[in-house]
Amino acid sequence: MAALVLPAGVLVLLLLVAPMLLLFRISLNEFSPTQMMVEATTAANYFRAVQDPYYRQVLVTTLAVATGSTLLTLGLGFPTAYWLARMQGRWKSFATIVVMFPLLVGNVVRAAGWLALLGNGGAINAALLGLGVNAAPLPLLYNTGAVVAGIVAVVLPYMILTLSAVIEGIPRQAEEAASNLGASPLTVFRRVVLPLALPGVIAGSVLVFVLCMNTYASAVLLGGPQFKMMAPAVYDQFVRGNNWPFGAALAFILLGFTLVLTVVGSAVLGRCYRR
């Protein structure tokens, strides 16, 4: 068994752990405008990120957008996943392909599609202006709503596929028995389906939350230059500011918050499931 696990373990160490350790070492260095990076061992970059009101606000915005996007994705994904899991016949394969189809398109291409849909000269505003509903284009782009819509469109297939796999394992007889005993559809969902599907809710929510916390293309293209989240802030420090130590510190702060919130959320939902 150890011989089978060893190749995968070595691959993970080479492709994941080693770069993360290198990035952490870079975060402890100092930045110099002339030398770019000076060898050091200091936590000044982390203190700067925590104490700077700008980056605190960026982190708060990232957490709010990620949490809201995750909840919205769960609300939209659960009914679709239930419908997909209960489908039978040849149309189920077709519906699964339709759900997976957005995953075949890159995030940048999807964000460009939202630009064409939500822009001042986009399809929605063109239709509203053409029908005479509005006299001027609506500001649908470069705001939090546009970013959330773009993120949800990216992560929704992951939630649907994760939930549908779990819901398929719930026996139909359990729902039918509850209905025969007089339970309303809402009660059947709340007392039967949701508790049995909670492992899928946990797995899907964790996956989606991690993706939302690290979103880049949707935040940059749909949020505009004034809308800041952590991933674009990390990119700015590495590419535009050439401040690798501070960018690495921001990356680890993002990683730490994502990891802690994911573990805490999973533990809370797991405790509810055990009860």
3-state secondary structure labels for all residues of 156-204:
HHHHHHHHHHHHCCCCHHHHHHHHHCCCCHHHHHHHHHHHHHHHHHHHH
* DSSP label at residue 225: T
pLDDT at 272: 63
CA-to-CA separations, 228 to 146, 154, 176, 221, 235, in angstroms, rounded: 13, 19, 49, 11, 11
Say how far apart CA 77 and CA 85 lie, in whole Å: 12
CA dihedral (79, 84, 85, 86) in degrees, to 10, reads 90
Say how far apart CA 145 and CA 128 lie, in whole Å: 19
Nearest Cα neighbor of 233 from 223, 104, 73 is 223
Per-residue pLDDT tens digits for 96-111: 888 888 888 887 888 8
CA 4 to chain centroid: 32
Say how far apart CA 106 and CA 60 lie, in whole Å: 27
Say how far apart CA 250 and CA 239 lie, in whole Å: 14
CA 126 to chain centroid: 30
Say how far apart CA 28 and CA 40 lie, in whole Å: 6
Say how far apart CA 18 and CA 10 lie, in whole Å: 10
Say how far apart CA 208 and CA 82 lie, in whole Å: 18
User: For residue 36, what is the enclosing H or E element?
Assistant: strand 36-38
Instruction: Output the tens digit of pLDDT for each of the chain's 275 residues.
Output: 566 667 777 777 777 788 888 889 989 988 887 777 888 888 889 999 989 999 999 999 999 999 999 999 999 999 999 999 888 877 888 888 888 888 888 878 888 888 888 888 888 888 888 887 777 888 888 889 999 999 999 999 999 999 998 998 888 888 888 888 888 888 888 888 888 888 888 889 989 999 999 999 889 889 888 888 999 999 999 888 889 999 999 999 998 888 888 888 777 767 766 66
For 156, residues 6+ apart whose C-beta sits below 8 A from its C-beta are: 73, 76, 77, 102
Say how far apart CA 12 and CA 221 lie, in whole Å: 32
Say how far apart CA 38 and CA 20 lie, in whole Å: 19
Per-residue pLDDT tens digits for 30-74: 888 777 788 888 888 999 998 999 999 999 999 999 999 999 999
Query: What are the structural domains, with CATH classification, of the chain?
Result: 43-274 (1.10.3720.10)
